[in-house]
Structure 1
Amino acid sequence: MNDAGPSSSHPRCDQIAVIGAGAWGTALAAAAARAGRNVRLYARRRQTADEINTTRRNDAYLGPLALPDEITAVTAMDDAVRGADAVLLVVPSSAIRETARDLENCVPRNVPVVICAKGVEPGSGLLLCDVVAEEMPDQTIAVLSGPTFADEVAADMPTSVCIASSPVPGEPVGEGTAAQLALALSAGSFRAYVSDDPVGVEIGGAMKNVIAIACGISRGAGFRSNMTAALITRGLAEMTMLATALGGRAETVAGLSGLGDLTLTCSSEQSRNLRFGLQLGAGTSRQEAFGGAPVIVEGVRNAVSVTDLARKHGLSLPICEAVRAIVHDHADIGTTLGDLWAQPLEFESNAHDTTFRHPDANMARERIEELIG
């Protein structure tokens, strides 16, 4: 194994700006601080910034967890990014374009902007790295993703992520943007792996929330572990199909940002997407989920944007389409899952594009609906 090591010719990432003081932004700020970086954390609300600076806590998002002293919270975006060696963009996917537009005039082109949200933009069908590229032309862009719950990162529990950036021809591997960011953020329990496939990393992050809703619906409707395992496995196949169609690599989807994040999100009720699906499966309406509280469930938005993108490329994503039908088109859960199980049989590998008529599709549908009923 070759040890690329940090290069003295490449600028170090000593000053990190984190845009977004929610749970994930604050957790990443804590990880960066524990890695020895000086961190300025942008918060929209003055109350949040004052609480972080005076009590070393962000109670609304992370409860009583103590935050490192190296974090300084600010309420002006200009102050956050001034002198920064890297900018972590940690806002909901729906706010990425607007936030990138706000940053366009205050972040130098050679300072990497690291997208730490997950999704596909509705309407345009753009991955978030492409959204930022439109608003910040010629900007250095990277993507950070992986199986992470913010409270565990903030509590310094063992966590691995993947950081991806597009390779620059002729640039030594150890001097690439992703490698330098991994070196800057890895310390203690936080470990970053490096990738040169931002497309594959983004697709995994965008689709895992949709598959988690499917798993939640299944469990909430009374189905057991076999169906959950099938949904996770075939969901991974749908991820791989879309990622490779867009130029990503299957091996990336099999890594932390794909399989790793999918496994976490589909197996733990800490996941808002899984909990949302559980409520739908148990008969709660979309509007009544979480007691009617305005909880952001990224998979709801991405069920549409991901399937729109797949349709544009002539791809069929049955699980994601089922989630879209249930969540957005008010489709009956039993009928929709029954249709999913009654699809034509096919090769598990994408190497063969052949299907076989289901020998008893009606029985498959009837059994699913009987089990729910």
Structure 2
Amino acid sequence: MRTSRERVAVIGGGSWGTALAHVLAGNGHDTVLWVYEQDLAAEMSSTRVNSLYLPGFTLDPALAVTGSLPEALADRTMIILVTPVQVMRSVLSQAAALVGPGTILVNASKGIELGTLNTVSQICSELLGEAALEGYVALSGPTFAREVAAGLPSLIVAASRSEQCARRVQAAFSNPVFRAYTNSDVIGVELGGAVKNVIAIAAGICDGLGFGHNARAALITRGLSEMNRLGLAMGAQHATFAGLAGMGDLVLTCTGDLSRNRTVGYKLGQGMRLADILAEMRMVAEGIKTSESVYQLACRLGVEMPIVEKVFQILHEDKPAKQAVSELMARDLKAEM
């Protein structure tokens, strides 16, 4: 696909940020990756490998890496946010004065902020003003970073209230093995990316307990129903949750062995303590903190989300996993729809 050359800053040097920066540089865009860890930024500049978060992949030779946020954001036409959602406010506060007029702001992180219960678009609106949302794009879909970096066929969705901005992001990322679709449902795409991580922890718990394929399939289906209920309560579109950012990402994260959130759940199901699981992990499993914010959001809006509630209780109130499952199965009988 032929497209105009963008000047892109990717903010966040984890596995997903690194993979996206690699794709953009490979597509011919002037791309710089900001890495929080100064020593890692220097190492990546010299070795062309992110040994901490994406080992085994050589970065595109055109990709620049820096530990300086002002340097990364200077004169950019597009900024891709890929930091954990719980630190997004801090990063955006530092970046706000450096974002030029007309810059497209793309969020590729998945979660809901603790305390405020805001999505990233709501954080951006608060810090940068409502007008910033005219150039805001939510990027999501069923994509593991390692498979994207390896050039395996992958699909994503770019959602914005501005069709022009969505199309520019679509064009920037698309190539013969990485295909982007556009969407106008920003809140739906953001919620899909957040809630699926919580459901993936539940799916991992089921697998860790040895409950089999029937239970996992049922959990994914009912999890999708919970995601849809919350989305509709917040003004999202039903169709979004049947697409890449809903069902697509949910299935991947609940079944794929590369899923950090499913892995956390699996180990919980096998009887490990959460603190011990986290001590073994290098990368963030967003669903752990998001389970709290999604549960609180559901309570605030009066939305029934029993799977999310049980994951919250397991993670944050030390409820035994088997007891949580028993309570789910003992709920009052009702019609499916």
TM-score (norm 2): 0.95
- Of 156, 160, 168, which residue of structure 2 is paired with 1:165? 160
Matching of residue 342 in structure 1 with residue 334 in structure 2: no
Q: Distance in 2 between matches of 1:200 and 1:231?
A: 20
Aligned to 2:73: 81
Describe how 1:148-227 pairs up with structure 2 within 5 A. 148-167=143-162, 173=163, 176-227=164-215
Q: Distance in 1 between matches of 2:112 and 2:252?
A: 20
Provide the alpha-carbon RMSD of the alignment: 1.6
Q: Which amino acid aligns with 1:48?
A: L
1:113 and 1:142 in contact (8 A); partners too: yes
Higher helix content, 1 or 2: 2
Distance 1:145 1:75, change over 3 A: same
Distance 1:221 1:18, change over 3 A: same
- Of 44, 47, 52, which residue of structure 2 is paired with 1:55? 47
Secondary structure of the structure 1 residue equivalent to 2:180: strand
Q: Distance in 1 between matches of 2:317 and 2:86?
A: 21
Q: Which amino acid aligns with 1:150?
A: A
CA shift, 1:54, in A, is 2.2
Q: Which contiguous aligned blocks of 4+ residues in structure 1 show a shift greater than 6 angstroms?
A: none
- Of 57, 61, 77, which residue of structure 2 is paired with 1:65? 57
Q: Which amino acid aligns with 1:207?
A: V
Q: Distance in 2 between matches of 1:48 and 1:339?
A: 46
Aligned to 2:292: 304
- Of 138, 144, 152, which residue of structure 2 is paired with 1:143? 138
Q: How many residues align structurally?
A: 334
- Of 270, 291, 307, which residue of structure 1 is paired with 2:258? 270
Aligned to 2:226: 238
TM-score (norm 1): 0.86
Q: Distance in 2 between matches of 1:295 and 1:158?
A: 24
1:34 and 1:187 in contact (8 A); partners too: no
Q: Using the TM superposition, name which of 105-114 and 132-141 deviates more.
A: 132-141
Secondary structure of the structure 2 residue equivalent to 1:330: coil
CA shift, 1:116, in A, is 0.8
Q: Distance in 2 between matches of 1:116 and 1:55?
A: 26
Render the CA deviation track for 1:249-272: whole Å, top value 9, x for unaligned: 111111111111100100012111
Q: Distance in 1 between matches of 2:320 and 2:72?
A: 48
1:96 and 1:132 in contact (8 A); partners too: no
Aligned to 1:257: 245
Q: Distance in 1 between matches of 2:226 and 2:50?
A: 37
2:9 and 2:33 in contact (8 A); partners too: yes
Secondary structure of the structure 2 residue equivalent to 1:131: helix
Q: Distance in 1 between matches of 2:305 and 2:227?
A: 9
CA shift, 1:290, in A, is 5.3
Structure 1: gaps (5+ residues): 168-172, 350-373
- Of 113, 116, 120, which residue of structure 2 is paired with 1:128? 120
CA shift, 1:109, in A, is 3.0
Q: Distance in 1 between matches of 2:115 and 2:42?
A: 38
- Of 6, 31, 38, which residue of structure 2 is paired with 1:14? 6
Larger Rg: 1
Secondary structure of the structure 2 residue equivalent to 1:105: helix
Aligned to 1:362: none
Aligned to 2:321: 333
CA shift, 1:311, in A, is 1.0
Render the CA deviation track for 1:69-128: whole Å, top value 9, x for unaligned: 110011211111111110001101111111111110001131011111111111111111
Q: Which amino acid aligns with 2:236?
A: G
Secondary structure of the structure 1 residue equivalent to 2:46: helix
Distance 1:182 1:232, change over 3 A: same
Q: Which amino acid aligns with 2:70?
A: D
1:35 and 1:188 in contact (8 A); partners too: no
CA shift, 1:210, in A, is 0.5
Q: Distance in 1 between matches of 2:160 and 2:241?
A: 15
Aligned to 1:361: none
Identity %: 37
1:143 and 1:201 in contact (8 A); partners too: yes
- Of 265, 268, 278, which residue of structure 2 is paired with 1:280? 268
Q: Which amino acid aligns with 1:71?
A: L
Q: Distance in 1 between matches of 2:320 and 2:50?
A: 41
